[in-house]
Amino acid sequence: MKDQYVILTGSKNNAGDYLVKYRAKQLFANLRPDRKIIDINGWEQLNTEKLAIINQSKALILMGGPALVENMVPKVYALTENLEDIKVPIIMMGTGWKSQRGNWEDAYSYPLNEKTSSLLTRIDNSGYQSSVRDYHTLNAIRFNGFNNFLMTGCPAYYDKDFINTELQLKEVNKVAFSLGVAFIESPSMEKLMKENILACKEKFSDKEFEVVFHHSLDRNKFKDAYKSSPTHVNKHNDFADWLERNNIKFTDISGSAENLINYYSAVDLHLGYRVHAHIFMNSIGKQSILISEDGRAKGVKSAISGIVLDGYLDFKDSFVSKVLNKLLPFYDRFMANSNLTKELLSEINYETKIAFIRLKNSRKQIDNNYIIMGQFLKQLP
């Protein structure tokens, strides 16, 4: 066997997915320099050549992202028809759940299909601990009967240059508002996001204010990456048109980790819905307020605490609501938080007065979670 790991990653277009892979490779370089890293696209089925590379390695590591979904196999990880073709230990690293409602109690009965359960059984029995990125995911894993897991946080939290450093409180000159995705299917969430943006633009009228797209606004690039219906990218472009009409600056940082890193490194305050914008800002000790639109953001709050506001109060998850959503184009499964904009402005004012003390606590929690991440990496084969 060669001194290498194969990691299966999911970065196609979303800047946050690229950040996970980028920071994971840094973690291996810093804490497991004895292992070479070979990166393979997780959504592609493993052919004979890829299987040969994997089976010559010390382990196959399924890397990061909201990959723990009901049909994780084959939707997220295509793998092979027969898991026995993979001869080396299979291990998960920094994986998260993807629950739209995202309440803690949803972890008690988190659905997984037969193929996903078989994979998790194989992972659980690998002889090595695997890792997840938040406590909601850890609870969902446990209640499905799998116990050989640690809560390490997402790999994107960790930059060795910022471990055990303090929050950097600087004068706010540039504010970035990251756009979520719930507005694609929810009129109330779209209305709320526009309300948030207009209010924040007014509040920071004397500062540089910009809305940030983590998915590409280039229709062809988006279509090539996701092979999905045009609705997603069309809605993003419609939103960009709305921003233009309202004289609000915006930028597209999709396509690489470097785009995200370079952009947010020049930002003083992040507001908005993108989980990895919030993770990155916390990772380098900068100010950020995250707005939740699903269980991923709620998972962040369970992992590092910090400032996470509820963008929605409920999500209809019944069979009837799913049917109505398909039949009626304007049926809204979200109950948007009508008090959010007032709360967001109030939160900005309050945290400014107390020097963002909750983010100081988040910075310390990231350092504590890094210890567990180190334990996880050092016990790998």
Confidence check: pLDDT of 55 > 80: yes
pLDDT of residue 219: 65
pLDDT of residue 289: 98
pLDDT of residue 323: 76
Pair 359, 300: CB distance under 8 Å: no
Instruction: Give the separation between CA 230 and CA 217, rounded to whole angstroms.
Output: 12
- Residue 60's closest CA among 81, 86, 36, 78? 86
The separation between CA 95 and the C-alpha centre of its own chain, rounded to angstroms, equals 9
DSSP-based three-state secondary structure for 28: helix
Q: Which residue has the tokens 């699903």?
A: 294
Confidence check: pLDDT of 22 > 80: yes
CB count within 10 Å of CB 262 equals 11
Residues with Cβ within 8 Å of residue 145, at least 6 apart in sequence: none
Average pLDDT over residues 102-116: 96
Residues with Cβ within 8 Å of residue 13, at least 6 apart in sequence: 215, 216, 221, 222, 225, 226, 254, 255
pLDDT of residue 226: 53
Q: Which of 94-98, 145-149, 324-328 has the lowest mean pLDDT?
A: 324-328
3-state SS string over 170-188? CCCCEEEEECCCHHHCCHH
Q: What's the one-letter identity of residue 351?
A: E
Confidence check: pLDDT of 239 > 90: yes
Q: Report H helices in the chain.
A: 15-31, 48-55, 114-124, 135-143, 187-203, 219-226, 231-245, 257-265, 275-283, 295-304, 319-327, 340-353, 357-378
Q: Mind listing the pLDDT tens digit for each residue in 350-371?
A: 999 999 999 999 999 999 999 9
Share of the chain above pLDDT 90, in %: 86
* pLDDT band at residue 103 under the 50/70/90 scheme: very high
DSSP bridge pairs for 288: 270
Using only the alpha carbons of the chain, give its radius of gyration.
20
pLDDT of residue 64: 85
* pLDDT band at residue 34 under the 50/70/90 scheme: very high
Q: How far is CA 205 from CA 158, 248, 344, 381, in A?
A: 33, 11, 16, 54
Average pLDDT over residues 110-133: 97
Average pLDDT over residues 257-277: 97
Average pLDDT over residues 295-304: 96
Instruction: Give the separation between CA 95 and CA 287, rounded to whole angstroms.
Output: 25
Q: Which residue has the tokens 């299979």?
A: 90
Label residues 196-218 b or e (16+ Cβ within 10 Å = b).
Answer: bbeebbebbeebebbbbbbbbbb
Residues with Cβ within 8 Å of residue 23, at least 6 apart in sequence: 155, 156, 157, 158, 159, 257, 283
* pLDDT band at residue 83 under the 50/70/90 scheme: very high
pLDDT of residue 330: 79
pLDDT of residue 283: 97
- Residue 89 tokens read as 């230990």
Q: Mind listing the pLDDT tens digit for each residue in 315-325?
A: 998 878 877 87
Q: What's the one-letter identity of residue 7?
A: I
Q: What mean pLDDT is reported for the chain? A: 94
Q: How far is CA 23 from CA 27, 198, 267, in A?
A: 6, 33, 19
Please compute, for residue 218, the number of CA atoms within 13 A of its CA located in the half-sphere on the CB side: 10
Q: Mind listing the pLDDT tens digit for each residue in 155-190?
A: 999 999 999 999 989 899 999 999 999 999 899 999
CB count within 10 Å of CB 81 equals 11
Kindly state the helix (H) or strand (E) to which residue 34 belongs, with its residue range. none
DSSP bridge pairs for 37: 5
pLDDT of residue 229: 60
Pair 168, 365: CB distance under 8 Å: no
- Residue 102's closest CA among 283, 290, 236, 231? 290
pLDDT of residue 321: 82
- Residue 71 tokens read as 């049909």
Confidence check: pLDDT of 153 > 80: yes
Confidence check: pLDDT of 196 > 80: yes
Confidence check: pLDDT of 32 > 90: yes
Pair 58, 87: CB distance under 8 Å: no
